[in-house]
Chains A and B, each alone.
Chain A
């Protein structure tokens, strides 16, 4: 690791000031991506601003018919939350399969979505459920948040503070983990709220995306066999040593059906 300064402010405003005052400072949440990245010298921040002392950011609370999850809530906390299990069991189930037990004890929802890894699980849930990301300065719709490979709508120095998930009549995630890394080679979240059906795909492209053809078919009939014969266009999907684009397209088609049944 290159050297860096370390700050752990107790007020969100101080976090924002430190990030705004130094464009090479980085925010530290659970550190499960950032610390390995620093160890490989793939990043060289001047300072880490640790969010862990800011009060209230780990809270999970009921709001309307949905649930608001603090940015610093760990995957283990979300997976074990009776509130999340009650409102959106599919979201708790997603959190319970991120990484491994040790990673889930440290990694946070805010850190995961701000990092926007193309193979991360949470982005599929945020987009399919039409979640709302709250930051220190505004609310951002889930569909507008992920803008590309490791890119989000966050401005420099903007800090995610919580994510609101509305309740849904159906919310389920299915993924095909890489046998070695356990990252999603593809993951599909299917959500239905009233007549609105959303199918969000992670791991298969440079960033999470909605699969329009599947949404249209499921809006007519919400059943796995409504997807018979429908496979996403492989053009633009990821190809690597683990799976080429055509294979990933097939996996997505299978996972979408699993996320409905």
Chain B
């Protein structure tokens, strides 16, 4: 069985015929070449594959491509400006060195952008709890929390 889907990815409208079992993460990486969305665990725990689906952060390895029919998807490739200017959250991760190996970073940034929009405050405990769905095995999270706070402040000021 193959299903026709229409979706918008990073502002580009697409039509595809997909097997129902194709994951959104597979569609993005294998068919669209958007390999910034990382697959870390493939068991929906690590959050490296986080993208925005109609504005909400989701783990793209736990969403079927057919479920994204009619939706708008935003990946890490789509958050910077058209001229390459980094998104404030990306800039904050660079400024505060919120990474070591960088594998979790795309998911962290996508999760953090939503956190910045929805968190009632930017206390350290709020940020740490808000990032529960994103695992980093390098940093111990110290600089990630600093980066998210700075990025969120920049987003709120911007």
Contacts and interface: CB of A to CB of B under 8 A. Distances in A.
B122 to A, nearest CB: 15
Interface stretch (B53-61, B74-82, B97-105, B137-145): B53-61
B20 A5 contact: yes
B88 interface: no
Contacts of A50: 66-67
B63 A31 contact: yes
A100 B128 CA distance: 11
Contact of B132 (A5, A36, A101): A101
Contact of B21 (A32, A38, A103, A106): A38
Interface string A1-15: 111111010000000
Contacts of A32: 44, 62
A103 B62 CA distance: 9
B43 A102 contact: no
A182 B130 CA distance: 13
Contact of A101 (B1, B20, B133): B133
Contacts of B66: 6, 8, 50
Given A5-B1, A35-B44, A106 B58 contact: yes
B63 A35 contact: yes
Given A6-B3, A38-B21, A101 B115 contact: yes
Interface in B1-38: 1, 3, 19-21, 23
Interface in A84-118: 99-103, 105-106
B151 interface: no
B56 A76 contact: yes
A239 to B, nearest CB: 24
A101 B130 contact: yes
A36 B56 CA distance: 20
Contacts of B43: 36, 39-40
A31 B115 CA distance: 22
A38 B58 CA distance: 18
A3 B32 CA distance: 22
Contacts of A102: 47, 50, 57-59, 62, 111, 133
Contact of A103 (B20, B59, B61, B64): B59
A6 B20 contact: yes
Interface string B99-117: 0000000000001001100
B42 interface: yes
Nearest to B52: A105
Interface string A130-152: 00000000000000000000000
A47 to B, nearest CB: 9
Contacts of A48: 20, 64
A52 interface: yes
B62 A31 contact: yes
B133 A100 contact: yes
B57 A105 contact: yes
Contacts of A101: 57, 111, 114-115, 130, 132-133
Contacts of A4: 1, 20-21
Given A3-B19, A5-B1, A102-B59, A39 B42 contact: yes
Contacts of A76: 56
Contacts of A52: 67
22 contacts: A3-B19, A4-B1, A4-B20, A5-B1, A6-B1, A8-B66, A8-B69, A35-B23, A35-B44, A35-B63, A35-B64, A36-B44, A38-B21, A39-B42, A40-B43, A50-B66, A100-B133, A101-B57, A101-B115, A101-B132, A102-B133, A105-B56
Interface of B: 1, 3, 19-21, 23, 42-44, 47, 50, 53, 56-59, 61-64, 66-67, 69, 111, 114-115, 130, 132-134
